[in-house]
Structure 1
Amino acid sequence: MKRSQPPTAAAQRPQHPVDEVLPVPKLAVYGMQHVLAFYAGAVIVPILLASSIGLSTGQLIHLINADLFTCGIASIIQSVGFWKVGVRLPLLQGVTFTAVSPMIAIAVAAGGGTDGLLVIYGAVIVAGLATFLVAPWFSRLIRFFPPVVTGSVITIIGLALLPVAAADATGGAGPASDPTSGRNLAYAVGTLALIVVIQRVFKGFLATIAVLVGLVTGTLVAWALGDAHFTSVGDASWAGVTTPFYFGWPQFSFAAIVSMIVVMMITAVETTGDVFATGEIVEKRVGREDIARALRADGLATSIGGVLNSFPYTCFAENVGLVRLTRVKSRWVVATAGLFMILIGLVPKAGAVVAGIPAPVLGGAALAMFATVAVVGFQTLSKVDFHDHRNVVIVATSVGLAMYVTAQPDVSKAVPDWAEIIFGSGITLGSLTAIVLNIVFHHIGFSYGPAVAGQPGDTVRLDQVNQMGREEFVETFAGLFQGPRWMVEAAWEKRPFADTHALRRSFQEALFSGSTERQRELIEAYPQLGSDLVADGLSGEASLRDQAARGLTSLAESDQDALAQVTQAYRERFGFPLVISVRDADSFDRILEEGRERLGNCETQEHAAALIEIAKIAGHRFDDFLQVANPIHTARTRGIKR
């Protein structure tokens, strides 16, 4: 009998949700949802460009078809990938808004019309090749993208896109906008409300297509009321193929090429933010090679765009929000969306149907999607050490400048022409600000880092902690625990600490890695809850502060007797004091209840429970250290909590 072979490591490794190939019907529905959410943003760039450089309606239609066709190719390259090209995440590709102003300037300088287009395409082709080639070097700058930068960039992307959604919700940007229209408000809020209701009421497949259902339902309602029009479907042709160099051979201008390369370098920053955001959403770690693969895909797609009569490509943040909202992580969904876009690009009638979605309906769905991008940024920023005031400055300044430019877009007219590319986009300005400030604060010069202990005017900062000898370190942080100091000594061995989170973790790791005998000695050092020794300050200032936080130092006689009965019974049962992090308890009654419940546990379980409570107490005491050392930060966060 032939012995079966053991499974290989590759066979045993579970498949990541990103690589899961869903059934064809689900791929089709989820893919179309991405297309509908993406469509308006995809076609806006050719529309803006055509109106600014004097192209005819026929030429505009060809640009839209070429754009959609190339978007599909670019999305497949990015999501499916080959060789070292494509990040293989659910990232949809679209024409970058950053390129709009520079392309208009290039075309106008070349005389406008198709003459201007040819110069644009020459610059786009070269800039795409340059991006492809520099991708490995750019990816090495990943150390300049810590959570304080990526979190800021992702947050900025989400917040800066919200005005775009709001403009759609009011009927569309420009003359079509009517914020006073009750119908526009009803369509936008109704679509958003339907998406929320579906996600709250339903589970499984229907919840994941909430955006698609909202768009279709909103469009049908608008059509029934005469506010959605599909007359252009009849006028559109059934087939329309974009051929390479349709408008003529590209022309190469040095100034235009330099301008477009600058656009692509700025776009690389946005792509990096989108890749990190998607990595956070799908729970897949993003490394240097991933950034390089994503940028190579951007560069290749951009060069293909120049050949197929389209423009520079980047990851579309709009669809990052859709991935977060639906929680569908498969990259093959985006690949399917890419196939749909290719088909739409080849069948103008299909594009005309999608184009019939009313702007307010699209805006209502976009509000949900774009806001979720900002939420991903908030989640990333939660990993940032905001006790380090430098990080507060980086986030506040970058987000503030991004919102300034987003709210007042005409600010770009106040700067020289070369700076318009930066000040013309809140995403660009905010992202560059976060990167530059991170370098200035964290990579240039010398800093002692955040204050972690001491008094205002005489604080102990993180770099000083990293340079402390054992005795000084133990004296500084011994107050986190009662009695023995072995766990503080063990924490000292873990230097250097990258931030206050690492310092906090070192005490927790030391506590739980100690021997059972040492841990028992530590538990026995904690005072009895509500004892006179604590109230009189004889057990230390930290214990007094802990127990006074829940009034255990000033109990009524009946409450003190009840607590004493529980703590005495506990000591008789286990041989060590009842340890509870009373700051985490809602009330005195809850403390009593927890003590009585724990009397029913075994000694091993209570040994572990006591260590967990000691870790919680040490955490609160560590927060006390930080609050005393950082009075401005403490006042700010207390104000926010209030």
Structure 2
Amino acid sequence: MGVKTMELEKGIVEEVHQKLEIKNMFLLGIQHVAAMCAGAIAVPMILGESLGLGQEEINTLVSATLMMAGLGTFIQTLDIHGKIGAKLPIVEGVSFAGVSALVAVGLSYKGTDPIFGLQVMFGATIVSGIFAFLVAPMFGKLLKYFPPLVSGVVVTSMGLSLIPVALRWVAGSPKSSSYLSIKNIILALITIGIVLAIQKLSKGFLGNIAILLGIFLGTLVAIPMGLTDFSTLNEATAFTINTPLQFGFPKFELTAILSLFLVQLVIMTDATGNQINLSDICSVEPNQEKIVAGLRGHGLTSIIAGFFNSFPHSLFGQNVGIAAITGVKSRFVGTAAGIILLVVSFFPKLVAILTSIPSPVLGGAGIIMFGIVAANGIKRLGTISYDGNKNLVIVATSLGMALAPIAAPQLFSNFPQWGKILFQSPVTLGALTVLILNIVFNEFNKK
């Protein structure tokens, strides 16, 4: 039995650390980038617009975000330091969890100078990254409270929280003339059909890049439908480089820092669930040491991001969906995605190409990707026993709580700022509920 276990562990290690052919590795990497790019650039655009920054300054924030996504992905996938980085096919990106808090911080401190508000954001990002790095070991100790019951609810909540994002992509931009048009829905359905057809007809490498092919072919279909806009390609400059402190030295304000401490707790909760899910997909045991190393990677990326004109980063859930679809476990696919992100950040015309992908195309692909994240959580919940215990009540209550901010986004609008940060995240609300209920109903009974 011991020999078999050692052989299995050896096989698992080889699979996770397997280096694929360069061509295949980069095609898979492009697929990861195409899946996460819209979400990655949305945050700096939202934050820049909220402060009233000019287009050139917003473009700088976008390039900085992509560069830091590449560097953060390197930290998570390469063996830079034994205790930093999850060594999984993780793709980092600036986290949506901090958007509302960062907007509030920027508007509170900008006064007549929006750059000052931006500097306060960067200062809070740096200190919150240090906080995440330092508390990672304590957070990692919570892993023992993440049995399949808890992790299943957390992962399902992630998928459920991401599906509305895909549906909003299907609807299109509210500023667009095609918003909520039948054309958008048809294009999304065509993209879904392409991905499913490739999955059905191909079980080899083409099946692994089904999402990428769906996005590419969906974009081609969108051209005669009049749903593409490549005007930004002509307007984009040929080359740019993201240098540190382009907007001046960060400013450190206590209120802003405390707000982002809460954001980091939300990010770490999401990241823990995502990493457990990705570990399961990659057949790797998500032990405490690996979870802590991954959380340290997020913290270190956020520290560097504050100096390089970006914001708190975390593992992107849609890329977990890509890993689940492809079944490719090599962490070097993530490294390839990091290289692509880094290169793209230097060439605004490449950014313009990625941002020109019609949102209904991304929405169609996203419905499948995010649905698979939820399905993985449901699959995990199917492994636990519901006889002679209260697990069914725990799951029902926790998923019901997780759906609250999804179904009624304004439900917590009258809460204080710290309450909004914590409870507007479906994952955090679902995770807190299932953690508490599991302890009350199951852990106390053991004692």
Q: What's the secondary structure of 1:314's corresponding residue?
A: strand
Distance in 1 (CA, whole Å) between partners of 2:30 and 2:388 is 45
Q: Compare 363-372 and 409-418 and name the one that shifted more.
A: 409-418
Distance in 2 (CA, whole Å) between partners of 1:34 and 1:170 is 22
Match of 2:122 in 1: 121
Match of 1:62 in 2: 60
Match of 2:134 in 1: 133
Matched, 1:146 2:147: yes
Shift of 1:393: 2.4
Match of 1:353 in 2: 353
Match of 1:246 in 2: 246
Taking a change above 3 Å as real, the CA distance of residues 388 and 42 of structure 1, as seen in their structure-2 partners, is farther
Taking a change above 3 Å as real, the CA distance of residues 203 and 158 of structure 1, as seen in their structure-2 partners, is same
Deviation readout 1:502-535 (Å, 9 max, x if unpaired): xxxxxxxxxxxxxxxxxxxxxxxxxxxxxxxxxx
Q: What's the secondary structure of 1:110's corresponding residue?
A: helix
Distance in 1 (CA, whole Å) between partners of 2:388 and 2:361 is 43
Taking a change above 3 Å as real, the CA distance of residues 386 and 329 of structure 1, as seen in their structure-2 partners, is same
Match of 1:484 in 2: none
Question: Contact 2:29–2:340 at 8 Å: present in 1 too?
Answer: yes
Distance in 2 (CA, whole Å) between partners of 1:354 and 1:381 is 36
Shift of 1:72: 0.5
Deviation readout 1:3-56 (Å, 9 max, x if unpaired): xxxxxx99x944532111001110111110110011001011111111222211
Question: Contact 1:219–1:357 at 8 Å: present in 2 too?
Answer: yes
Match of 1:155 in 2: 156
Deviation readout 1:558-589 (Å, 9 max, x if unpaired): xxxxxxxxxxxxxxxxxxxxxxxxxxxxxxxx
Shift of 1:373: 0.3
Taking a change above 3 Å as real, the CA distance of residues 68 and 180 of structure 1, as seen in their structure-2 partners, is closer
Deviation readout 1:457-477 (Å, 9 max, x if unpaired): xxxxxx9xxxxxxxxxxxxxx
Distance in 1 (CA, whole Å) between partners of 2:411 and 2:116 is 30
User: Which of structures 1 and 2 has the bigger CA Rg?
Assistant: 1
Match of 1:72 in 2: 70
Deviation readout 1:300-347 (Å, 9 max, x if unpaired): 000011010000011111110011011111110111001000011111
Deviation readout 1:228-262 (Å, 9 max, x if unpaired): 12121111111111111110101111111111111
Question: Counterparts in 2 of 1:444-483, with a 5 A limit?
Answer: 444=444, 447=445
Q: What's the secondary structure of 1:121's corresponding residue?
A: helix
Question: Contact 1:170–1:177 at 8 Å: present in 2 too?
Answer: no
Taking a change above 3 Å as real, the CA distance of residues 239 and 180 of structure 1, as seen in their structure-2 partners, is closer
Shift of 1:388: 4.5
Q: Which stretches of structure 1, 4 residues or more, deviate above 4 A after TM superposition?
A: 177-180
Question: Contact 1:81–1:87 at 8 Å: present in 2 too?
Answer: no
Shift of 1:390: 2.6
Which amino acid in 2 is paired with 1:339? I
Q: What's the secondary structure of 1:439's corresponding residue?
A: helix
Distance in 2 (CA, whole Å) between partners of 1:366 and 1:249 is 38
Shift of 1:117: 0.9
Taking a change above 3 Å as real, the CA distance of residues 59 and 142 of structure 1, as seen in their structure-2 partners, is same
Taking a change above 3 Å as real, the CA distance of residues 236 and 132 of structure 1, as seen in their structure-2 partners, is same
Question: Counterparts in 2 of 1:100-249, with a 5 A limit?
Answer: 100-111=99-110, 113-172=114-173, 174-176=174-176, 180-249=180-249
Which of the residues 45, 48, 62 maps onto 2:46?
48
Distance in 2 (CA, whole Å) between partners of 1:96 and 1:138 is 19
Shift of 1:175: 4.0
Distance in 1 (CA, whole Å) between partners of 2:432 and 2:48 is 29
Taking a change above 3 Å as real, the CA distance of residues 418 and 177 of structure 1, as seen in their structure-2 partners, is farther
Taking a change above 3 Å as real, the CA distance of residues 252 and 198 of structure 1, as seen in their structure-2 partners, is same
Distance in 1 (CA, whole Å) between partners of 2:416 and 2:388 is 35
Match of 2:3 in 1: none
Q: Compare 391-400 and 307-316 and name the one that shifted more.
A: 391-400
Q: Structure 2: which 5+ runs fail to align?
A: 1-5
Which amino acid in 2 is paired with 1:204? G
Distance in 2 (CA, whole Å) between partners of 1:68 and 1:389 is 47
Match of 1:460 in 2: none
Shift of 1:180: 4.7
Question: Contact 1:65–1:242 at 8 Å: present in 2 too?
Answer: yes
Matched, 1:303 2:303: yes
Matched, 1:367 2:367: yes
Question: Contact 2:110–2:118 at 8 Å: present in 1 too?
Answer: no
Q: CA-atom RMSD, angstroms? A: 1.8
Deviation readout 1:123-154 (Å, 9 max, x if unpaired): 11011011111111211121111111110000
Question: Counterparts in 2 of 1:343-492, with a 5 A limit?
Answer: 343-444=343-444, 447=445
Q: What's the secondary structure of 2:314's corresponding residue?
A: strand
Distance in 2 (CA, whole Å) between partners of 1:388 and 1:354 is 52
Shift of 1:263: 1.0
Question: Contact 2:140–2:291 at 8 Å: present in 1 too?
Answer: yes
Match of 1:22 in 2: 20
Question: Contact 2:74–2:335 at 8 Å: present in 1 too?
Answer: yes
Shift of 1:265: 1.4
Which amino acid in 1 is paired with 2:19? V
Which amino acid in 1 is paired with 2:38? A
Question: Contact 2:148–2:384 at 8 Å: present in 1 too?
Answer: yes
Match of 1:513 in 2: none
Which amino acid in 2 is paired with 1:355? T
Question: Counterparts in 2 of 1:74-89, with a 5 A limit?
Answer: 74-83=72-81, 84-89=83-88
Q: Structure 1: which 5+ runs fail to align?
A: 1-8, 450-462, 464-642
Match of 1:325 in 2: 325
The alignment-based identity, stated in percent, is 38
Match of 1:618 in 2: none
Which amino acid in 1 is paired with 2:92? Q
Q: What's the secondary structure of 1:94's corresponding residue?
A: strand
Match of 1:260 in 2: 260
Bigger relative contact order (CA 8 A; separation at least 6): 2
Q: What's the secondary structure of 2:252's corresponding residue?
A: coil
